[in-house]
Amino acid sequence: MYSNTDLPIRPEMRESHQVVWGQIGKTGSYWSGRDRVSIVHEARASLECALCLQRKDALSPNAVSGDHDSPTDLASPVVDLIHRIRTDPARFTKSVFEDFCSSHSIGQYVELISVVACSVVVDTFHASLGLELPALAEGDATEPRGEEPALVEDAGAWLPLAQHEQSRTDLGFRRVPNILRAMGSVPSAVTLFFTCFRHHYSMMGVPLDLAQSQTEFIASRVSALNQCFY
């Protein structure tokens, strides 16, 4: 990964992305490795999906129905969720979450979001550097076996958040923000995403050749472009 560029990719970022890419191909708690790889392929395909393009132009994404252009054998609710979160996060609403969780578990939901978010980070970074997107291995076909119930609590989100004292404290935040608690129902999903993300932000021990205000300006601008208040 990142072998064909002269630009200085930080070794720790290169390594963490490689780790995450390998982990995606392994069976997780709620999806097989094969499914997780398919989730990434689906996220990529969504960017060219005719239905998603029509929905982007509509006043509401729910005003347009139809079938997604899908290159995988994932079930249609799964495909729809992936395409929505990849292509139109600003208009992602609680009803989408509730619809999905009427037929799937919160564990499946959280792990899927983590995998999609990792693919967004890795693919966006590659493309921004002018690099080809990294290939994925086929993925492990072993069936997922779930994981121990996490200590969570109702804290006003759509889903239960990790209890404060269960949240990771090694990422350099002065206080534990809700974003760290968001995927707390599935600790392995938290680990996967923040292994991917941690070198993208000037947290404790993560050097960047930018002033903190420059980092915060970029982060804030991304949030505004994606219409994410958080």
Q: Which amino acid makes up residue 191?
A: T
Q: How far is the CB of 20 from other proteins (least distance, A)?
A: 11
| In contact, 152 and 162? CB cutoff 8 Å | yes
Residue 152 falls in which region: left (phi positive, over 0), alpha (psi -120 to 50) or beta: beta
The token pair that represents 102 in the structure block:
């009427």
Binding of residue 1 to other proteins (CB under 8 A): no
User: Which of 37, 49, 182, 192 forms a contact with other proteins (CB under 8 A)?
Assistant: 182
User: How many whole angstroms separate alpha carbon 90 and alpha carbon 33?
Assistant: 28
| DSSP letters for 41-61 | HHHHHHTT-HHHHHHHHSSSG
Binding of residue 156 to other proteins (CB under 8 A): yes
Distances (CA, A) of 45 to 51, 82, 83, 124: 11, 10, 8, 14
Binding of residue 215 to other proteins (CB under 8 A): yes
Q: How far is the CB of 12 from other proteins (least distance, A)?
A: 11
Which residues, 47 to 76, sit near other proteins by CB under 8 A?
Answer: 47, 60-62
User: Which of 76, 142, 169, 226 forms a contact with other proteins (CB under 8 A)?
Assistant: 226
User: Which of 103, 124, 142, 169 forms a contact with other proteins (CB under 8 A)?
Assistant: 124
User: Which of 181, 187, 188, 192 forms a contact with other proteins (CB under 8 A)?
Assistant: 181
Signed CA dihedral, 213, 215, 218, 222: sign only: negative
Count of residues that interact with other proteins, criterion CB under 8 A: 75
Candidates 22-30, 112-120, 132-140, 144-152: pick the segment binding other proteins (CB under 8 A): 112-120
Which residues, 2 to 41, sit near other proteins by CB under 8 A?
Answer: 7-10, 13
